[in-house]
Amino acid sequence: MKTSKQLKKRAFTAFTFGTLLIISSYSLSLTTDSQHLKNSTFTPLYPQSQQPRISLAILSRLSQMHYNKVPVDDQLSSKMFDRYLAELDASRSYFTQEDINELSSYRHRFDEALKAGNLRPAFLIFNRYHQRVTERLNHLIYMAEKQLPNLDLKQDERLTINREGADWPKDSRMAERLWDKQLKNSIINLKTTGKEINEIQTLLVKRYKNQLTRTLQTNSNDAFQVYVNALTKTYDPHTQYFSPRSSEDFNIHMSLSLEGIGAVLQREDEFTKVVRLVPAGPADKSKQIFPADKIVGVGQGVKGELFDVVGWRLDDVVQLIRGPKKSTVRLDVISGKTEGGSERKIINITRNTVKLEEQAAQKDIITINRGDKESKIGIINLPTFYFDFKGAQSNQKDFKSSTRDVKRLIAELKKDGIDGLVIDLRNNGGGSLQEANTLTGLFIKDGPTVQIKSSNGSIDVLEDEDSEIFYDGPLAVVVNRMSASASEIFAGAIQDYGRGIILGGQTFGKGTVQSLLPLHNHGQLKLTLAKFYRISGESNQNKGVIPDITFPSIYNQEEIGESALPNALPWDYIRSVDFAHWNSYDSYLPELKKLHQLRIEKDPDFIYLNRQVEHYNSIRKMKTISLSEKVRNREKNENENKLLQIENERREAKGLKALADLEEKQQEITSEQEKEHRLTDNDDSFILVEAGSILLDFKDQLAAKTRVAKILSYQP
């Protein structure tokens, strides 16, 4: 094993999971055989001359360099075939079962085609898919133009919400029946926002015609990219091919050179989905948009017209959202908390750059009173693990580093006489691996912090070599589902050493390392090269870090997290390394959990959070949605009334004014954005207060144990 002394010349920077998805899963408008078209003329797409050579180069790099060694055989071919169909038609709304039966002859032939650089099967399937896309769009245009006012919205038929595992439509007639149901669902969704039927008809006709127009713009590079990514994603979800066009957008994002809202987006079916929010970015600060939300409309200015972006290419939506600094973008958003689009809102976000100082670590102090005793708990919020490589290389005296900043803040908090320290890593998507190592070193004497296993089987170990313990007091680390990569390495090391207690929600589970490889002016390949392991030998991959005490979470783990991604590398373990264990929190956990549970059963905010989670979980269990306007309106009203009731019960318990409707809550959020806040002045500050209370419980138990030990050791 290599130690950190041998690694000093190597810079390890963990990709945050969100950036890996910024340009992924494009909406591809495809071409097909002209005899199948009704209203438009297309020509089939064919491979370009250089594409077979590029595909062979990608296959070679995957085989030689990827962490996951996958034989190119019938098993890979079968997985790739299923992945290709899912990349093209995840909602199973285009291909028919007749198509699948015919195309299945290629299920075990992709491996031979890959080895020979033969793209004919790829483009044949691609063009068949486009045939169905074109048929669907022409059908929907006809229905929207000619039949929309006559559609029956009174019959209580049902539409499957998530069709990922549904049966393919049997034939073209059954496909049209499905499309008609989807059209009815779109109409009802728009009617629940207050739109009149004439307005809805105009909007939908325009939507489908725009999608058909974009279909014409698809080229061979688009087709090639989706095919190659069906291959790369059989290895793992973070390995990805970027065509020259998408490489440019990816590089722009990585350099953060354009203004925007600070949201990482991806394509899902016909929608633009939020994957994560950049800490301290405009979207994050707005408190109005969240991971798993879907953007269906984009407008410019506070009152600008909203352009319907359902079915648009991801890069086109991104371009529409980007804009000059301090300008406003309007977004029509469907909440990701529920399926079926039952919660929808229009929000305004002021574009801006993400300032480094706003992503820097910040401190605060919360005061907790117990009887006549007042205790101070230090809070450090760390949005990302940052490190100014250029500043360090040029020997700048005060270059930015998360470890440097946290160390300075802890020194200030120690002067204030804190009784415990909470490191808040919620929504921290990662960053510099080296910073995760050095930050861990502030809380331990010395020793290993993380293991990195490369694709060739070699294992490197990063270590803290400084024997100083900068802070040795009670420590808690708060995480949630959006804590990933470097955050998981830090939290895992603190947990393995028994140095602190981990609180919150199960983390994301991003335990792999990627690198970008250029393909000689033909795009680039992002490749998974290594895997992180904790010093205990356990991987963070897929499973993430499990907190010692779990708090309720509003995030849907089936929708968000590594385990929700197809073909994610599995959790596993390797040999542990030697390290000196701290005085463990384990023996104190049963009593800490008991006291925590007693508190949250009476805490209005925790009661509110638990009831929210229960409510959204009950809605998520719904597999189908009604296509009766009357039923949908009733369900929408019931949902809003339930949420209002939960909110007002919390307010009553805290002595706050009740709300007349949920709009008042949104107005409060908008008003709060305009004020300056301390770290704890937000809706989830109760999480940090509870973390502080758990630390005080630990101090009390530790003091009691010390008193007992002194009594037992006393000899008169």
Rounded Cα–Cα distance for residues 3 and 321 (Å): 45
496 belongs to the catalytic site: yes
Q: Where are the beta strands (DSSP E) in 122-172?
A: 158-160
Token couple for 140: 């929907």
- For 338, the 3-state DSSP assignment is coil
CA distance 526 to 20: 8
Strand partners, 263: 277
d(CA 241, CA 361): 34
Cα dist. 546→16, 488, 550 in Å?
Answer: 19, 10, 8
Taking the CA atoms of the chain, what radius of gyration do you get in angstroms? 27
Given 184, 233, 294, 510, which residue is catalytic? 510
- Give yes or no for a contact between 678 and 644, defined as CB atoms under 8 angstroms apart: no
Dist. CA 469–CA 443, nearest whole Å: 5
Pairing outcome for strands 447-454 and 501-504: unpaired
CB atoms within 10 A of CB 546: 14
Token pair of 533 as six digits: 């392991």
Q: Is 146 a catalytic residue?
A: no
Label residues 166-197 b or e (16+ Cβ within 10 Å = b): eebbeeeeebbebbbbbbbbbbbbbbbeeeee
For residue 459, give Cα distances in angstroms to 534, 579, 604.
12, 16, 48
Q: Report how far residue 547's alpha carbon sits from residue 504's, in angstroms, rounded to the nearest whole number.
A: 6
> Is 74 part of the annotated catalytic residue set?
no
Rounded Cα–Cα distance for residues 348 and 366 (Å): 32
Q: Work out the burial of residue 214: count CB atoms within 10 Å of its CB; fewer than 13 is exposed, 13-18 middle, 19 or more buried.
A: middle
Hey, what are 614's tokens?
């229960």
Which residues 6+ apart lie within 8 Å of 429 measured at CB?
A: 16, 17, 18, 276, 279, 384, 482, 483, 484, 485, 487, 508
Q: What is the dihedral of CA 232, 85, 24, 241, to 10 degrees?
A: 30
Q: How far is CA 319 from CA 24, 211, 215, 260, 315, in A?
A: 15, 17, 18, 9, 6
Catalytic pick from 24, 246, 485, 693?
485
**Dist CA 271 CA 296 (whole Å):** 7
Options 332, 496, 603, 697, the catalytic residue: 496
Kindly state the tokens that stand for 481. 């589902």
235 backbone dihedrals φ, ψ, rounded to 5°: -85, -50
d(CA 680, CA 552): 19
User: To 10 degrees, what angle do helices 51-65 and 220-232 make?
Assistant: 20
Phi, then psi, of 262 in degrees rounded to 5: 75, 45
3-state secondary structure labels for all residues of 560-603 = CCHHHCCCCCCCCECCCCCCCCCCCCHHHHHHHHHHHHHHHCCC
Name residue, tokens 């040999």. Answer: 575
Task: Give the residue numbers marked as catalytic.
Answer: 485, 496, 510
